[in-house]
């Protein structure tokens, strides 16, 4: 390619315009790992220093899914009750959601129901929503088994994924499945085979 000025093979604006924009939101109780999962997906990084999301955290990544270039916008809506109003605004035009819990924290698992209700109430929960059991690296502290997680997801007709934002396990697969479902307009459906 000729890289001298004025001889770029494609104009930047054309490239940006050709990207398909996708908005994804993460919900779940405070501290379950939403920001870390997004950070890992966007930057392949993990940070152990904890800073609670105030209001909202944001990340974006260009990702190719089956030949389509996506500009994926990821929002971590703070799990704190004080931010319920901020969240309800930000759910607008959401194409995909993931609800996260921490396998070492039973309260975060019990709160899944409330998160799903909030998504549905705000018009964001749809067939492109999945459940994420995070922190699977903390095996010795685990209090919610794979079986319990799967059962909850199945009862709500949602697909279930396990991840570790610490080691990175399962993250690529979860995001790829979510984005593939949106792009191909094939809803994520639970078939009892996970
Ligand atoms: N061991 C372990 N720690 C994690 C994992 N994901 C997040 N954390 C830690 O959990 C805390 C909360 O993470 P954060 O992403 O800020 O949670 P958020 O409030 O849901 O956004 C931080 O101290 C992270 O380092 C994980 O998969 N494994
Ligand atoms: Mg956060």
Residue whose C-alpha is closest to residue 163's, from 54, 36, 47: 36
Residues facing 36 on adjacent strands: none
Is 2.60.120.10 the CATH number for 14-184?
no
What is the reported pLDDT for 173?
Answer: 96
**Ligand 1: does its nearest atom lie under 6 Å from the Cβ of 31?**
yes
Report how far residue 116's alpha carbon sits from residue 28's, in angstroms, rounded to the nearest whole number.
9
Q: How many CB atoms lie within 10 A of CB 157?
A: 12
Residues of the chain predicted below pLDDT 50: 1, 193-194
- The model carries a pTM of 0.87
Q: What's the CA-to-centroid distance between 52 and ligand 1, angstroms? A: 10
Q: What's the CA-to-centroid distance between 72 and ligand 2, angstroms? A: 18
Residue 129 structure tokens: 């929503």
Query: Among the residues of 62-168, which ranges form H helices?
Result: 84-90, 106-110, 112-121, 146-155
Over the chain, what is the mean pLDDT? 86
* Domain layout of the chain by residue ranges: 14-184
- If one residue of 36, 43, 133 were mutated to test the ligand 1 pocket, choosing by the most ligand atoms within 8 A of its CB, it would be 36
What is the reported pLDDT for 52?
Answer: 60
pLDDT digits (tens, 9 = 90+) for 26-79: 999 999 999 999 999 988 666 655 566 556 778 888 899 988 889 999 998 877
Residue 45 structure tokens: 């990084």
């Amino acid at each position: 390619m000729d890289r001298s000025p004025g001889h770029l093979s494609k104009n930047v604006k054309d490239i940006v315009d050709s990207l398909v924009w996708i908005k994804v939101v993460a919900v779940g109780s405070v501290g379950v790992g939403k920001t870390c999962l997004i950070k890992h997906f966007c930057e392949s990084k993990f940070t152990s220093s904890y800073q609670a999301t105030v209001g909202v955290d944001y990340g974006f990544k260009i990702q190719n899914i089956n030949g389509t270039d996506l500009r994926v916008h990821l929002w971590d809506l703070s799990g704190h009750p004080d931010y319920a109003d901020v969240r309800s605004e930000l759910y607008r035009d959401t194409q995909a959601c993931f609800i996260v819990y921490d396998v070492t924290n039973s309260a975060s698992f019990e709160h899944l129901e409330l998160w799903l209700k909030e998504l549905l109430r705000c018009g964001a929960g749809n067939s492109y929503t999945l459940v994420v059991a995070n922190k699977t690296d903390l095996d010795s502290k685990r209090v919610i088994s794979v079986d319990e997680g799967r059962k909850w997801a199945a009862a709500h007709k949602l697909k279930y994924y396990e991840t570790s934002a610490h080691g990175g396990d399962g993250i690529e697969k979860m995001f790829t499945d979510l984005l593939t479902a949106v792009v191909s307009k094939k809803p994520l459906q639970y078939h009892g085979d996970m």
